[in-house]
Chains A and B, each alone.
Chain A
Amino acid sequence: MVNHISNEKVIEVENLTKKFGDFTAVKGISFHVNKGEIFGFLGANGAGKTTAMKMLIGISNPSSGNANVAGFDVHTQSDEVKKSIGYMSQKFSMYDDLTVKENITFFGGIYGLSRKQIKKKTAELIEELQLGDITKSRVGSLPLGWKQKLAFSVSLLHEPKIVFLDEPTGGVDPITRRQFWELIYTEADKGTTIFVTTHYMDEAEYCDRVSIMVDGVIEALDTPKNLKKQFDVDSMNEVFLKLARNIE
């Protein structure tokens, strides 16, 4: 599973801090992510993981600290960062009232793909996801699992170096989740770095490395195997619970 990872660091975070008035949501976190890695970014609700991720994707400015994404500084080069990353949010991130094809064309368009590239990509997607006839139906009429796969593919249209997935599999059954992770593996094998937040601890097991955030601080960061050894438990779920309990 680990053979797709290279030593090149594509995300480097140092002392990244975010303050909202008196409240510090992210308290000087530091970590790095390697190229081709599937990096799980875990934490309870309100632990600060969404805030941290927003700084990495350039839609929120850090209060202090540095973050380098795809070789660009998120603070000063956020335009470059945005061109090199893909993003799929926890809320389903396509337009329900547009057809599959129109969505692909639109998102391809805003990432500056040419008409020819969009055509080629659309054909590839139809082939890969076996979309067939549904390209002309509105996205709103598709089952959630389909939408999520589609949204993931759309976030990869411009062939980003890193793709950020914010709770990508919320609300679907385990089988569909498993299928979704197949897609993630395929993409990681191509050398794309995957940065994923999730609530599901079984998904944490699929990641190459996992960080767990508690109260704005990264409390643990290692491979799922090592983490389980470190906390002397059998599943990531227990790791998570143990960590949360210790803090309290």
Chain B
Amino acid sequence: MKRFKGFVKKEFYHIFRDKRSLFILFGMPIAQILLFGFAITNEINNVDIAILDYAKDAESEKIIQKIKASKYFNIENQIDNEKAIESEFKNGKIKAVLLFERDFAKKLENQKKATVQVITDATEPNVANTITNYTQSIIQNYQNQKNTTQEQSVSIVMQTRMLYNAELKSVFNFVPGVMTVILMLVSAMMTSISITREKELGTMEVLLVSPLKPFQVIIGKVFPYVFLSIINAVVIVSMGYFIFGMPMRGSLFLLAFESILFIITALSLGILISTVSNSQQTAMMLSLMGLMLPVIILSGFIFPISSMPLPMQIMSNIIPAKWFIIIVKSIMLKGVGISYIIKETLILTLMTLIFIGLSIKNYKTRLE
């Protein structure tokens, strides 16, 4: 135990005396979450929109006035037919078109139901998403006001059409995503680099010649990163919760448990990488190309898996990050218990065991 303490202390010296690893460890998570966070939840201001008002009655006029009054939208122009929508978008002058159907007020009066269509330019999906949400809340607000003043309630149905990009990511995608990327980065990349560094410097040999058992060496090297990864997970979840309003509907305990499981998965991957690479450079390249890119591209963090071609969808199954993102989203957003994510948990556990098994096999081969 005393040996272990000494070992861990030495490992912390390495980490805290290396500005690069310090930056990756602590600068990166905060920078990433702020970048992703503000890029995605960016408030919109004075977005130019166009109005296509087939109704031109009192009700539609009231809604238009309300939208005009908000600081979010700026009505660039009024158009009079649907053909003009396309050309308006192509000019790039406007981001959205609000379309009121014919006899809007009359329908609202008689059928207690009328439709507003919001057509957005979804080449910038986040902006499109925000516009839709904002318009929706303005119209909802108007509808509520109206309903409090009259006996029979009316409903304004809002139809949304996202042009150019049918599938939109959730605003809450980034917290699980960034958390996954960071935990992967810190756990897998940093451990594989720190282990190969010892190999490169020749100190690994000295450690192996010492009475320390190989697994003690590895655990000693990995332990600080488990600790730092947990801190990072806490920082990311708190930032998501307090700064970006990410809901936390499930059990914090379960989230902690699953995060530690994923950290161990990533660490065992890091160890596996270090058994096949002899230099820090190789370890870094392997981690970046073999881990970071798949995590970012195939995990569903940035690109939705359901819209990938089938071979990619199948490939995404072997990415541990994919399963962890599902787990985090299920816990934080849906508030599910362990029974709903048992499959994902088992998959991560199995992957971890495979990685550890392969590492031991590789290590033994070298020894023989």
- A residues whose Cβ falls under 8 Å from a Cβ of B: 57-61, 79, 82-83, 85, 87-98, 102, 105-107, 109-112, 164
Contacts and interface: CB of A to CB of B under 8 A. Distances in A.
B302 interface: no
A87 B3 contact: no
23 contacts: A57-B209, A59-B205, A59-B209, A60-B367, A79-B211, A87-B205, A88-B206, A89-B206, A93-B203, A93-B205, A93-B206, A95-B10, A97-B13, A98-B10, A98-B13, A106-B6, A106-B9, A107-B210, A110-B6, A111-B210, A111-B211, A112-B2, A112-B3
A109 B3 contact: yes
B82 interface: no
Contacts of B202: 89-93
B223 interface: no
Given A95-B10, A97-B13, A98-B13, A87 B206 contact: yes
B310 interface: no
Q: For A95, A96, A98, A112, which residue has the most chain B Cβ atoms within 10 angstroms?
A: A95
A85 B203 CA distance: 16
Is chain A's interface secondary structure helix, strand, loop, or mixed overall? loop
Given A95-B203, A110-B207, 20 more contacts: A59-B209, A59-B367, A61-B368, A87-B205, A87-B209, A88-B206, A92-B202, A93-B202, A93-B203, A95-B13, A97-B13, A97-B17, A98-B14, A102-B13, A105-B6, A110-B210, A111-B210, A112-B2, A112-B3, A112-B211
B72 interface: no
B7 interface: yes
Contacts of A82: 209-211
A58 B367 contact: no
A66 B35 CA distance: 62
B18 interface: yes
Contacts of A87: 205-206, 209-210
B84 interface: no
B285 interface: no
Contact of B10 (A57, A89, A106, A112): A106
Contacts of A112: 2-3, 211
A91 B5 CA distance: 26
B211 A110 contact: yes
Contacts of A92: 201-202
B5 to A, nearest CB: 8
B289 interface: no
B18 A91 contact: no
B208 interface: yes
A100 to B, nearest CB: 13
Contacts of B210: 82, 87, 107, 110-111
Contacts of B207: 110
Contacts of B203: 93-95
Interface in B58-102: none
A161 B51 CA distance: 90
Interface in B1-39: 2-3, 5-7, 9-10, 13-14, 17-18
Contacts of A59: 205, 208-209, 367
B212 interface: yes
Contact of B205 (A61, A89, A98, A102): A89
Interface in B244-299: none
Given A97-B17, A98-B10, A109 B2 contact: yes
B307 to A, nearest CB: 47
A133 to B, nearest CB: 20
A109 B7 contact: yes
Nearest to B198: A95
Nearest to B201: A91
A60 to B, nearest CB: 6
A121 to B, nearest CB: 14
Contacts of B9: 106
Nearest to B214: A59
A102 B10 CA distance: 8
Contacts of A164: 209
A106 B368 CA distance: 29
Contacts of B7: 106, 109-110
A106 B5 CA distance: 10
In order of increasing CB-CB distance, the 10 nearest A-B pairs are A91-B202, A109-B6, A87-B209, A93-B206, A97-B17, A106-B10, A82-B211, A59-B208, A89-B202, A110-B210
